[in-house]
Amino acid sequence: MQTGTQALLPRHIAVIMDGNGRWAAARGLPRSAGHQAGIEPVRTIIGQCRRQGVAALTLFAFSSENWRRPPEEVGHLMDLFLDALAVELPNLQQNRVRMHFIGDRQSLGAALCQRMAEAESSTAANDGLQLQIAVSYGGRSDIVLAARALAAACQRGELEPAAIDEARFAAAVSLAGLPEPDLFIRTGGEQRLSNFLLWNLAYTELYFTDVLWPDFDAPAFERALQHYASRQRRFGLTAEQQAPK
């Protein structure tokens, strides 16, 4: 756990990429054009994280609630993920990015699942930025599935209920093994978590910006990093307890 002001660069950043639809509407374009335009900032942010030495980046691409959107938009998003994965993989590979997907894969099509699995296996040995993409992901479901896995381990006699502590629980959620996100960024002006990483965001610094995701460029990302660097993280301690002795 990083405390105080000494940690100026987040090790792990989690992002809700919001505002694609409004970006498109403002230009008289279909929502799908906004999602398409949302690919470029994904590229930019991955590059920035890599260059600055951020260890992990987790992007919310599609929530478990997004299935309720019009079928045409959902279909477009799934096609976009499928295409973007094929197009971006060589570049990610070249930059030693390690990819991992979180969320309910059973709800996704076979072709997308296969491409996701290929992206994971072909980048598994990379030692650069750890990139997590949340697709059909919900934070409450993540917690429920972890609880279920731990209960099943108890039922098999492999685990004592009393041995379930926060560390054990953290090892059962989707982002197990990664440092907790230090910085959460949400674009698009809304100030809520929308069921993203509910377990992991307990002590994360929250940064909200009105910038719509397709406009979120390198300077906008830099402003988020500067906001983070200016925060004093106390994790329940007093400022005096954290002052350098």
Residues labelled as active-site residues: 18, 66
59 vs 146, beta carbon nearer ligand FPP = 59
Q: What's the min distance (Å) between Cβ of 28 and ligand FPP?
A: 14
Instruction: Give the position of tokens 């990139």.
Output: 131
172 vs 188, beta carbon nearer ligand FPP = 188
Q: What's the min distance (Å) between Cβ of 89 and ligand FPP?
A: 10
Q: What does the binding site for ligand FPP look like in residue numbers (CB under 6 A)?
A: 17-22, 35, 38-39, 42, 59, 61-62, 66, 77, 81, 84, 133, 188, 213
For residues 47 and 224, the answer to whether their CB atoms sit within 8 Å is no
CB neighbours of residue 193 within 10 Å: 17
98 vs 233, beta carbon nearer ligand FPP = 98
- Between the alpha carbon of residue 54 and those of residues 7, 179, 224, 231, the distances in Å are 12, 11, 13, 17
**What is the tally of helices (H) and strands (E) in the chain?**
9, 6
Q: What's the min distance (Å) between Cβ of 122 and ligand FPP?
A: 16
Burial class of residue 108 in the structure, from the number of CB atoms within 10 Å of its CB (0-12 exposed, 13-18 middle, 19+ buried): buried
